[in-house]
Structure 1
Amino acid sequence: MPDAARLIAALCICCVGFIVSHQIIPLMPESTSFGYFTYVNAIIGVCVGWTVMGKRAGRGPTAAIHNGFGGVMMMVLWCLFVHSSYQMFDRAMANWYNGAFDALLAIFKFMAEYGLVMINPLVIFSLIAGGILSGLATEFAWRTWR
């Protein structure tokens, strides 16, 4: 059921995903083509905010902070999975893998590589601060517009 908490959670996590995406771009090699990288992450943020964070609103401020952390972590995991799957599919079409199992293992290898790129103090701080603010804003929206 649509409500204000789901909308605010979707918008907040979308903004966090968009901002962090722009912080990650300079950390990648210069030859990397990003294309729709930031927009895909923002759309994943909207979906995670709506489905994960929005339905958990209304349990108090401590739970709101945990909700924000959980939402941000889900967004990071889904973004890593989507971009790693895209990278694997691109290489699979160029016949890089001997079988389906090698291709599936490559997804997790790419997730680990991209996750290591994200270990940057600015990115981590942005994710933590964005998660806290998103969780509190979602809780505020739930309490204000029921």
Structure 2
Amino acid sequence: MPTAARVIAALCLAALAWLVSDMVKPLFEEGKTFGNFNLINAVVGFLVGWQVVGARAGRGMGAAINNGLTGGVVMLFWALLLHSSYKMFQVSMRGRYDGAFEAAAAAFQIMFEFATLIATPLIITTLVVGSALSGLFAEYTSRRAS
């Protein structure tokens, strides 16, 4: 059911995903084309904000921070999984994997490589502070709208 808290949480995490996506781009090799990278991550952030953070709003300030942090971790996980699966699919189309299990394992290996690449203090701090603020904004909205 749509609520104001869900909308605010979704918009906050989508904006955070877009911001972090712009911060991540310089970490990759020069000349890499990103296509709809920001948009895909913003959609993931929107969906996670709607389902995870917004659905749990209204339980208090401590829970709001925890919900926001949980939403940030879930958003990061799904974005990494989505992009690593796409990269694995590109590599598998070149016939580099012997079977489905090897391809699936490679997706998680690529996911780990992406995670270590973007694990910089600035990005981690931005994710932590932004997701905690998203939870607090959703909580504030939940209190004001009810």
Q: TM-score range by the shorter chain?
A: over 0.9
The TM-score, its normalising length taken from structure 1, stands at 0.98
**Unmatched 5+ stretches in structure 1:** none
How far apart, CA to CA, are the structure 2 residues paired with 1:32 and 1:112? 19
For 2:17, the equivalent position in structure 1 comes to: 17
Q: Which runs of 4+ in 1 moved over 6 A?
A: none
For 2:97, the equivalent position in structure 1 comes to: 97
Q: Secondary structure at the match of 1:71?
A: helix
The TM-score, its normalising length taken from structure 2, stands at 0.98
Deviation at 1:31, TM superposition (A): 3.7
**Unmatched 5+ stretches in structure 2:** none
* Alpha-carbon displacement from aligned partner over 1:80-138 (angstroms, at most 9, x marks no partner): 00000000111111111111111000110011000001111110110011011101000
Q: What are the equivalent positions in structure 2 for 1:104-115 lying under 5 Å apart? A: 104-115=104-115
RMSD of aligned residue pairs (Cα, Å): 0.7
For 2:80, the equivalent position in structure 1 comes to: 80
* Percent identity of paired positions between Structure 1 and Structure 2: 46
Matched, 1:64 2:64: yes
Q: May I ask how many residue pairs the two structures share in their alignment?
A: 146
Amino acid at match of 1:103: A
Q: Which moved more, 1:88-97 or 1:11-20?
A: 88-97
